[in-house]
Amino acid sequence: MARIVVAQEAGACFGVERALGMVRNAAREATAPVHTLGPLIHNPRVVAQLAADGVGVVEDSSEVPAGDVLFMRTHGVAPHVEERARELGLQVIDATCPFVKKVHVAAERLEREGYQVIVVGEAGHPEVEGTVGHAPGALVVGCVADLDGVNIARRVGLVVQTTLAQDTLREVVAALIGRCDELRVMDTICDATSKRQEAAAELARRADVMVVIGGRNSANTTHLAQICAAACKRTHHIELPEELDATWFEGAELVGITAGASTPAEQIDEVRVRIERLLP
C-alpha cells in the first residue's frame, strides 16, 4: 500500500491559527453579533464554517450596528480604520498577527526618527496598506524598477511585507546602496511562507502524487501548487476532500500532502483520511 506523507511545514501559520481561535471563541462567547472586516482568511470553507457559526463578513465598519463585535484580521489595518470603528461604537478586537504588528511599530518609529520610510512589498496588498497607514509618508516599492526616477532621502529606513521573498529584499537593498547616506533595514519577513515552500518542494521531489490543499483564491496556496507541479507532474490543488479522485493514486508508492498558510490542521487530516480510504 502507498505511503502518505504530510510535508514537515504545512497548513495554517501561527498568525492564522491565532486569529481563527480568537474569532471562534468570540462566536461562542460574545454577547453581541460578530463580524470580520474582510474575509478572515483566503479559505472559502473556513469562511463558510464561520458564517454557519454566525460570523459575518463586512467590507466597511459602517455596515456594522453599534455594539457589535468587529475583528481586524491578521493582515492588520491602518490606525484610522480602527479609530473609525471605535467611533462608531463597535467592540473592536484586533487579530493582527504579532509579526505584522512588528512591521507597524518599526515603520512608525523610523518615520518618527526622520527616516524616509520605504515599505518593500506589493502595492495595494492589505498588509502593505495597513503598514503605510502607520507611516503615512512611506513609499511602497515592489521591485527595483519602482525606484527609477524617485527622489531618495539621505536617511532611508526599510520595512518589509512579511511574505516577501528574501531575494526581492536583497535586490532593493543593493539598489539603494550609494543612493543615500544611511540605510536602516528592518528585516520583517516572516519565514512561515518560505518554510512551507521549501518543505513542499522537498516532498514533491520524492512523491509520485502531490495533493495541495487550500483556497483557489489563496495566493500562497496557488504558489505552493506551482512549486509542487514543477517537481511532481501528478500534482492536484484541491479545496475540498470530495474533489479527491481514486484514479489519481493508481500505481503511486508515495503520496505527498501539503497545504497553504490559510488551511487549518483539521482540513489536512480530513484529506489524509480520505486518501487512505481511496488507496488501492
Residues that bind ligand SF4 (CB under 6 A): 13-16, 74, 97, 99-100, 162-163, 190, 192-193, 261
Whose Cβ is closer to ligand SF4: residue 99's or residue 248's? 99
CB of 200 to ligand SF4, least distance (A): 15
In angstroms, what is the minimal distance from the CB of 13 to ligand SF4? 3
DSSP one-letter code for 177 = B
State the CB neighbour count (10 A cutoff) for residue 6.
21
| Nearer residue to ligand SF4 within complex by CB, 10 or 255 | 10
CA distance 116 to 106: 12
Phi, psi of 157, deg, nearest 5: -120, 125
> To the nearest whole angstrom, how small is the minimum distance from the Cβ of residue 2 to ligand SF4?
31
Active site residues per annotation: 127
Q: How far is the CB of 214 from ligand SF4 (least distance, A)?
A: 13
DSSP 68-115: -EEEE-TT---HHHHHHHHHTT-EEEE---HHHHHHHHHHHHHHHTTP
C-alpha cell at 108: 512608525
Strands (E) located in 79-219:
91-94, 116-120, 139-141, 155-160, 182-185, 209-213
Task: Note the Cα 115 to chain centre separation in Å.
Answer: 28
Q: Supply the minimum distance, in Å, between the C-beta of residue 40 and ligand SF4.
A: 11
Judged by CB, which is closer to ligand SF4: 88, or 186? 186
Q: Are 172 and 141 in contact (CB under 8 A)?
A: yes
Find all residues with CB under 8 Å of 2, minimum gap 6, and list them.
208, 249, 252, 253, 254, 255, 279, 280
Cβ-based nearer residue to ligand SF4, 4 or 164: 164
Distance, C-alpha 136 to centroid of its chain = 23
For ligand SF4, the closer CB: 4 or 268: 268
Q: Which residue is nearest to ligand SF4 (CB)?
A: 15
Which helix (H) or strand (E) segment holds residue 129: the answer is helix 126-134
